[in-house]
Structure 1
Amino acid sequence: MSGLASLLDSSIGRQIIGGISNETGTSEGKTSDLLSMALPLLTGAMKKNASTPEGAQGLMGAINSKHDGSILDNLGGFFGGGVDQSALNDGAGILGHVLGGKQSSVENALSSKTGIDAGTVGNILKMAAPLILGYLGRQTKQNNISGSNDMSSLLGSMLGGQSQENQSLITSLIDTDGDGSVLDDVADMVIGSNKKKGGLGGLLGNFLNS
């Protein structure tokens, strides 16, 4: 199972970094720094939801129907000629569900840490969101993931290997109740922004298929 740190160092990761850098006019170094902070946040939200059978089922359904990893097979097409509006809308929907009312403050904080303006941070996150789900979809197929325990283990593996600096930054951005746990606060934001959509399984399906 490959972690997010390995992803960013891989040939696919370099394509993602280069594509987003070209799309936004941001240096590859700053783009890489931003993604190293943002991708674990999104993955942590999914891990918390996948800790229940209903959440894992919703995540598996989303992967099988839309986020199966095929997006990573044609990154040239994804970035070539500019990222199309449907992809940005997909990313915006994912971010809205994951971050809820915290999205603006997270973007501003990441802007402060990286020196990238907040508007560009938002655009980078919109491009990154469907790509990280595609990566999860690919890992799910490669590792024959089918149940909630396996999915939780896969997501935990993806979160492994983060630097202490990144872990501290993510905690400072998301740990709103001060208990040191990023995952519960991300999940609370997801639940809060989707409480009218009914049930954790339905919530996760809505979030990942938006």
Structure 2
Amino acid sequence: MASILDLLKTEAGQNLINGASKEAGVSKEKTGSVLSMALPAILGAMKSNANTKEGEENLNKALESEEHDGSILNNLSGMLGGDNSGLLSKGAGILGNVLSGGKESALTANISKMTGVDASSVGKIIKMAMPLVMGFLGKQKQNSGGGLTSLLGSAMGTSGDKDASMLETLLDADGDGSMLDDVAGKFLGGNKKGGGGLGGLF
């Protein structure tokens, strides 16, 4: 099963990077860096939410709806243009449901620190990506027929407790930032062996 970072290498992912780059006024390389860190962390939050019965039911219902059937993966280039307010609004709604209790602001602030992209632009980039993420998950769910935990774990493309800790650090509003260098190394393709960086994205 493809991971969310594999999605960024597809035509739809490249369309997203190009469109979000223009909307946020940030280079394509920086936009890709933001997404490569944000998306696994958001999937980690979804996985955590799905640990409760209510959270699992809500996410299942969303992924089984026609809105998130994966068709956006083929239509994204037509949705990106001069006015992206609809996509941003839809993404903001999804993000608000996934990240609560200050996690959204923590995520944007921590990624801003690591990439040098201002938090407002980080927020725009992530919101534009959310409908695509839901379409990706909806399509994967149709194809796999497996449970949410295994679906989200595969989509995150992470392995082991260390990766999980890095994702938690991105979402930690009270963190002191001591792990941010490790997180950046992991997701920006640093020297860490096996890093899930941006190689081949551009």
Which TM-score band (shorter chain)? 0.7 to 0.9
CA contact (8 A) 1:69 1:137 kept: yes
Letter in 2 for 1:96: G
Identity of aligned residues (%): 47
Aligned CA distance change for structure 1 residues 7 and 63 (closer, same or farther; 3 Å): same
Cα offset, 1:81, TM superposition: 2.9
Letter in 2 for 1:21: S
Q: CA RMSD in A?
A: 2.7
How many residue pairs end up in the alignment?
173
Q: Match of 2:51, SS?
A: coil
Alignment of 1:36 onto 2:33 = no
CA distance in 2, matches of 1:21, 1:54: 35
Q: Provide the TM-score with structure 1 as the length reference.
A: 0.71
Deviations 1:85-142 (A, max 9, x none): 2322221122223333232232222112111111111111111112111110111112
Match of 1:158 in 2: 155
Q: Provide the TM-score with structure 2 as the length reference.
A: 0.74
Q: Match of 2:68, SS?
A: coil
Match of 2:196 in 1: none
CA distance in 1, matches of 2:7, 2:75: 16
Alignment of 1:24 onto 2:21 = no
Letter in 1 for 2:36: S
1:74-113 pair list within 5 angstroms = 74-83=75-84, 85-100=85-100, 101-113=102-114
CA distance in 2, matches of 1:106, 1:5: 17
Match of 2:179 in 1: none
Aligned CA distance change for structure 1 residues 34 and 167 (closer, same or farther; 3 Å): farther
CA contact (8 A) 1:5 1:161 kept: no
Letter in 2 for 1:159: M
Match of 2:189 in 1: none
Comparing 124-133 with 104-113, greater Cα deviation is found at: 104-113
Aligned CA distance change for structure 1 residues 21 and 143 (closer, same or farther; 3 Å): same
Match of 1:172 in 2: 169
CA distance in 1, matches of 2:77, 2:49: 32
